[in-house]
Amino acid sequence: MMTNSADGDRNVTKPALNIPASSSTVSVKIIDISTIANVPMHALVTPQVSGIQVAEDAPSYSFLIEHPSGQKVLFDLGIRKDWHNLAPAIVERFKKVGHRPMAKKNVSEILDESGIGKDSIQAVIWSHSHWDHVGDMSTFGPGVDLVVGPGFTDYFLKDESGNSALGGVLPSDVEGRRVREINFTKGPNVTKIGQFPAHDFFGDGSLYLLDTPGHCVAHLCALVRTTTSPDTFVFLGGDAAHHCGEIRPSVYSPLPKSMPLPDAKGHIVPTCPGSWYEDLQLSRNRDPKGPLWQPSFGHDMEQTMITLGHVQEYDGDESVFIILAHDPSLRAPDVPFFPSPVNDWKERGLSQKYKWAWVATIMAGMQVQEETK
């Protein structure tokens, strides 16, 4: 497939993801009950942009995935309601840096109140073990498996040095339940999609777990088949990136020449961000056609950057809708949240509409900064 770059002066061949064919889909529903506030941008991304000192209040999404067989799994649990009962080192860190975590309810409560019931869940998949994704596993019975990425057991359960202030696994998370560590190297369900090793979770091509290391030991993403004829997918990004500006723009998903963005009065007007963005990037010694930021931290920064590059290949595929765990732009009236599925995202035009929504926030922040000088 050929596509024009942002300035239209060259063509780029998008790499094929080579997703195996399947007639099976699963339902995926976004559960939004968690918020993280007052996080300095420098704690997440670098280099800084003038006027963008504090990140937007961000969600920490959980996803209910329902298979036609009746099996139900969760991908991430967001923040636990009683976050003050997290590992003491984590709570102390909140006090020190001023983070304000909030959770209206635990995911288990949402399921019970909806009539689905937490007891209907077969497994919880952690994208990784950071506090804002693990929720409260103790609210699920011992029959609910915990599914994790490679290296989790050795690093978090056997090596005390790994169970740190960010990756705080509590005894109540794992005691009495089966911990399933995904093997991406061998087995009948192992394949490769794009540049990522993939595990066919249900064995029918409806849900793939992807080995996406870097941000944290055992980090996973997921690729969910949402429709067939045509095939569409949702990519659950976990913390492969905290912000859309870590993967966009890219050679596979260049900045549009024009995009509809809200003006100062909230009116949607066509905007041509190309020269503005290039100037901003050059002033920060960044690639004028590359992502706005790179992560400020990661367990393995070299691997983190490699993973981001591979995610960009998915982002350039129009059949894939990237949902990052902390993307606030999706908190919009026309984005369906639990109990409604997001499977019809393509028909709704959600990826196209919200792919560049973050640009408006950056432009607005910089404008305010300029006006206050």
What was the pLDDT predicted at 6? 40
What was the pLDDT predicted at 341? 99
Identify the domain containing residue 326 by its residue range.
Answer: 2-371
What mean pLDDT do residues 157-164 have? 66
Could you tell me what percent of the chain has a pLDDT over 90?
77
Sheet with 34-37, side-by-side order of all strands: 58-59, 34-37, 100-103
Which residue from 232, 244, 247 is spatially nearest to 345, judged by alpha carbons? 232
- Where does the pLDDT of residue 1 fall: very low under 50, low under 70, confident under 90, or very high at 90 and above? very low
With 80 as the cut, is the pLDDT of residue 371 above it? no
Q: For residue 221, what are its two tokens?
A: 């993403």
What was the pLDDT predicted at 369? 65
What was the pLDDT predicted at 370? 67
pLDDT tens-digit series, residues 89-115: 888 888 888 889 999 999 999 999 999
| Rg of the chain taking only CA atoms, in angstroms | 20
pLDDT tens-digit series, residues 162-196: 565 445 788 889 999 999 999 999 999 999 999 99
What was the pLDDT predicted at 219? 98
* CB contact at 8 A, 200 and 194: no
Secondary structure of residue 250 in the 3-state scheme: coil
- The residues with which 100 forms a beta bridge, in sequence order, are 37
With 50 as the cut, is the pLDDT of residue 209 above it? yes
Q: Are strands 11-13 and 232-236 parallel, antiparallel or unpaired?
A: unpaired
Report the C-alpha dihedral over residues 36, 42, 44, 50, rounded to 10 degrees.
Answer: 90
With 80 as the cut, is the pLDDT of residue 267 above it? no
With 70 as the cut, is the pLDDT of residue 261 above it? no
What's at 142, amino acid-wise? P
Q: For residue 73, what are its two tokens?
A: 């799994």
Which residue from 159, 104, 93 is spatially nearest to 131, judged by alpha carbons? 93
Total of domains in the chain: 1
Whole-prediction pTM: 0.93
* Omega before residue 230 within 30° of 0, cis: yes
Q: For residue 344, what are its two tokens?
A: 């019809």
- The residues with which 59 forms a beta bridge, in sequence order, are 35
- Where does the pLDDT of residue 285 fall: very low under 50, low under 70, confident under 90, or very high at 90 and above? very high
Q: Are strands 45-46 and 100-103 parallel, antiparallel or unpaired?
A: unpaired
pLDDT tens-digit series, residues 326-361: 999 999 999 999 999 999 999 999 999 999 999 988
pLDDT tens-digit series, residues 18-48: 999 999 999 999 999 999 999 999 999 999 9
* CB contact at 8 A, 114 and 120: no
The CATH number given to whatever domain includes residue 294 is: 3.60.15.10
